[in-house]
Structure 1
Amino acid sequence: MTLQQFLLILRARYKVALLTLLLTVATTVVVSLLLPRQYTAGAAVVVDVKSPDAVSGLMLQGMMAPGYMATQIDIINSDRTAKAVVKLLRMDQSPAIQQQWQEATQGKGQMIDWLANLLQKNLDVKPSRESNVISINYTGTDPDFAADVANAFAQAYINVNLDLRLAPARQYAAFFDEQTRAARTKLEKAQQALSAYQQKNGITSADDRFDFESAKLNETSSQLTGIQGQTTDSQSKRQNAKADTVAEVMQSPLVNGLKADIARFEAKLTESNINLGKNHPQTLRSEAELATLKAQLEAETRKITSSIETTYQVSKQREQQLQGALGAQKARVLVLNKQRDELNVLRRDIESAQRTFEAMSQRASQSSIESQTNQTNIAVLNPASAPSVHSKPRVLLNILVSIFLGTLLGVGVALMLELANRRVRSAQDLVEALDLPVLGAISSAAGMLQHATQNTLAKTATTGAHA
């Protein structure tokens, strides 16, 4: 169908199209005037996503997520929020509403669910495009009731949002309380194990005791080393064949004095033998004195060498005693070292239990505070008020829409009538219908008459102008 054919059809059936348009507009006007007036009340809430948490002081990353505002809108539209509105307005306690529920559902199901479903049908929640403000609109036949429901939805949304935050906090608080008690019990057991071990082994200060015993072991080891040196020295002197070469003998003042006296008397005796002879009394007396001095020297040498033997035996004995004491001290230090290691293990158990207890106690305190808070990041920005002008029906908008729809409907009716009773409106229709060429076309009489009239008027105007 060409545009010319379409326009010819509309010209031929314009009355039907116009009648359809008028009926559509008239019906729309009548229905719009007969419909009950509805009022829309709106409340605005603001969601703060940039302030830190009031308890922990931390920024919650979930609030910055792109889907956070969409989640808040879903919460407002949820059944839980609608049920909270029913409870806030005490609609389930109204006898009239109970009667309506009985008539509508025959007593089947829960009335609170039925009321929540009715409220959700007239609820419209819209987020602001460039801010964190959410508009909560409710439409009803009573302006005061619409405002009350809108405000109730805002308050219910705040309450539900707070419950959604507090429910996990309460669970965490109960969990961390239990963990804190378990950590405290573990810490007490670790402390009791340490005390019992100290009492069992008589330990008051393990570090001081270990240091004392270690110092004692070092001292015993030093004494043993010294005694072993003395024993070795005494043994070497003891095994020496020449007693007069022993250091003690050579360093003895008495021995050196006796040797000097012997040397003097020997010189004197030699002189006496030369001057007086061997049988002279003075020579004999000198020989007797010299023999006495030699006997004293020999006795003193034997005494010194005997003292070396005694020293060797004493040193040997002392060495054995110190070796036994050193072995016993080593065993004692090893025992103390083992005890100290076990004490360190017990102390580390206590430190670990202490850290766990402090961490659990801190988390339990924080969770307890979070479970008791009544603060939320949502606040009512603009409460709803009873509207003075109805929002529905919109008569002007409905008329404009009806004009558009009536025009389309009228054109559609005209086309349907034309298709049901097809007629020839132009030469092109004959070409399409008969598939034959058109040799000529005769205009309608009305068209010819109109054309002749226009020509006559033109000629008369021209003659008048020449005259």
Structure 2
Amino acid sequence: MDFSRFFLIILARHKLILFTLIMTISTTLLVSLLMPKSYKSTAVMVLTQKGADPVTGLIMSPQQITGYMATQLDIIKSSRTALMVVDQLRLDQNEAVISQHKQSNSSLGMREWLAALLLNNLEIETSRDSSVIRISFKGTDPAFTSIIANAFANAYQEISVRLTAEPSQKAASYFTDHLNVLRNRLEVAQKKLTEYQHSHGIVDADSRLDIETKRLNDLASQLVVAQADRIGADSKFDGASRTSEALSITRNAVINNLKINLAQAESKFSEISQKLGKNHPSYIGAKAEVDKLRSELSRHISFTDRSALNQEVEISKALEEQKQKILTLNRSRDELQILERDVEGAHQAYNSAMQRLNQTTLEGQSTLSSVSILDVAKIPENPDSPKVLLNLVLSAFLGTLLGVGAGLLAEMIDRRVRSAEDLVDVLHAPVLGIIKRDMPKQRRLQLALPRLLR
């Protein structure tokens, strides 16, 4: 079917098409006028959670921000929020509502039935890349719709605070119980450290070890000096080698003076022996003085030798005792450091738990909400539905389609010849001519229009 034949069918069936269009528009208008009016009230909320948390200071990651809005929409549509609205407005105590619930024969309880009913008429709208949420409620009573919309906004604001505070309160309770355990552990570790210090007489192992080490070094130095004194005392200064004479240098002043006097006396005796004989009084006096000095030197050297030997033995014994004392102190210091590390670890764990307890307690007591009401829901002046003008426009379009469809269906049922081309299609014979007579203007238009279109 070409366009010319389609147009001829439309012209022929225009009454049916027009009747269908009028009936569709009339029916739509009648239904729109008879439908109960529905009002829509909207409360506008804004979320500020994309920044840092005012209590913890934490900043949400981009992945958390992406799913944050979807999570908030699910929270608003949750039954907990709806039940909070029912409790705030005390809808379950209304006699009319109780009567409707009984007539509905629902298996749900009063509160759950009301919550489901409210959620069916609730609409949530968001914009892309926006933190604004629009909470709308539809109903036949304009004042009731604004009340319910504002109630959902307030309930959502309150439940956002509860969802933040409740986990923190549970965490604070856990940290309080755990803090007692950590406190007991710290007290036990501190008690062990104190008892160990008292039993071993240790105040500070490191400083005491430094003192004892210094004392050990002093004893080692004294031992070296005592050994040098003993070696010097062993040298009798009577024909010893140069090495022995070099080692005979001692720190005893008496022995040094006696050696000097002996050297002078021997020098004087040598001069006298060369000039005088053995029986000369000067020779005898000089020899007696040399013998006396040698006797005193031997006596002092023997005494110094015994003193140096005793001193060396005493210092050696004290040195060994000091070494054992330092070794014992090292073992005590190792054990003390273990106890100190236990106390330090218990103290750090206690401080960390105390810090977390303070933070969770602050979060649990916080009433700050990341949700703010931007615009409260107002009582709507005009109904949201039915929209008569929009329905009429849609019905005109739909009526036109139905009318054209009805015309084509009627043409298929009652097929008629409306042009020369129809004769060719029906009779399969060529048209030799067309006889014209006086005919209505509309009929002449129907015959001439296909030629004009061609």
TM-score band (shorter)? 0.7 to 0.9
CA distance in structure 2 between the partners assigned to 1:119 and 1:249 by the alignment: 119
Q: Deviations over 1:209-235 (max 9, x none)?
A: 323222221111111111122223334
Judge which range, 407-416 or 136-145, deviates more.
Answer: 407-416
CA distance in structure 2 between the partners assigned to 1:264 and 1:26 by the alignment: 167
% of aligned pairs identical?
37
CA distance in structure 2 between the partners assigned to 1:306 and 1:137 by the alignment: 122
Aligned equivalent of 1:93: 93
Q: 1:235 to 1:416 in 2, by over 3 A?
A: farther
Whether the aligned pair in 2 keeps the contact of 1:62 and 1:68 (CA below 8 Å) is: no
Whether the aligned pair in 2 keeps the contact of 1:21 and 1:406 (CA below 8 Å) is: yes
SS at match of 1:213: helix
Aligned equivalent of 2:304: 311
Matched, 1:340 2:321: no
Whether the aligned pair in 2 keeps the contact of 1:21 and 1:409 (CA below 8 Å) is: yes
Aligned equivalent of 1:396: 389
Matched, 1:375 2:372: no
Q: 1:240 to 1:429 in 2, by over 3 A?
A: farther
* Cα drift, residue 437 of structure 1: 5.5
Matched, 1:216 2:208: no
Whether the aligned pair in 2 keeps the contact of 1:250 and 1:256 (CA below 8 Å) is: no
SS at match of 1:65: helix
* Cα drift, residue 24 of structure 1: 1.0
* Cα drift, residue 267 of structure 1: 4.5
SS at match of 2:36: coil
CA distance in structure 1 between the partners assigned to 2:438 and 2:112 by the alignment: 72
Aligned equivalent of 1:277: none
* Cα drift, residue 148 of structure 1: 0.6
CA distance in structure 2 between the partners assigned to 1:47 and 1:444 by the alignment: 80
Matched, 1:349 2:342: yes
Aligned equivalent of 2:26: 26
* Cα drift, residue 196 of structure 1: 1.4
The 5 A counterparts of 1:29-428 are 29-61=29-61, 65-104=65-104, 106-129=105-128, 131-237=130-236, 252-269=259-276, 284=279, 286=280, 288-428=281-421
SS at match of 1:40: strand
Judge which range, 155-164 or 174-183, deviates more.
Answer: 174-183
Q: 1:176 to 1:420 in 2, by over 3 A?
A: farther
Whether the aligned pair in 2 keeps the contact of 1:238 and 1:308 (CA below 8 Å) is: no
- Number of residues paired by the alignment? 437
Whether the aligned pair in 1 keeps the contact of 2:39 and 2:142 (CA below 8 Å) is: yes
- Unpaired runs of 5+ residues, structure 1, are 271-282, 454-467
SS at match of 1:152: helix
Equivalent position amino acid for 1:43 in 2:
A
Q: Deviations over 1:340-368 (max 9, x none)?
A: 22222222222222222222211110111
Aligned equivalent of 2:252: none
Q: 1:264 to 1:146 in 2, by over 3 A?
A: same
CA distance in structure 1 between the partners assigned to 2:178 and 2:438 by the alignment: 104
Equivalent position amino acid for 2:269 in 1:
I
Q: 1:167 to 1:296 in 2, by over 3 A?
A: same
- Unpaired runs of 5+ residues, structure 2, are 250-254, 446-454
Whether the aligned pair in 2 keeps the contact of 1:261 and 1:293 (CA below 8 Å) is: yes
Equivalent position amino acid for 2:35 in 1:
L
Q: 1:450 to 1:27 in 2, by over 3 A?
A: closer
Q: Deviations over 1:226-269 (max 9, x none)?
A: 11222233345489658997775896343234324424533442
CA distance in structure 2 between the partners assigned to 1:2 and 1:90 by the alignment: 68
Q: 1:233 to 1:204 in 2, by over 3 A?
A: same
CA distance in structure 2 between the partners assigned to 1:449 and 1:183 by the alignment: 108
Q: 1:194 to 1:365 in 2, by over 3 A?
A: same
* Cα drift, residue 33 of structure 1: 1.0
* Cα drift, residue 147 of structure 1: 0.9
CA distance in structure 2 between the partners assigned to 1:291 and 1:357 by the alignment: 95
Q: 1:267 to 1:240 in 2, by over 3 A?
A: closer
Q: Highest CA radius of gyration, 1 or 2?
A: 1
CA distance in structure 1 between the partners assigned to 2:59 and 2:267 by the alignment: 105
* TM-score (ref. length: structure 1): 0.84
Q: Deviations over 1:36-93 (max 9, x none)?
A: 1111111111222455322233434469723322332232222222222111211112
CA distance in structure 1 between the partners assigned to 2:60 and 2:441 by the alignment: 87
Equivalent position amino acid for 2:86 in 1:
V
* Cα drift, residue 307 of structure 1: 3.0
Whether the aligned pair in 1 keeps the contact of 2:160 and 2:370 (CA below 8 Å) is: no
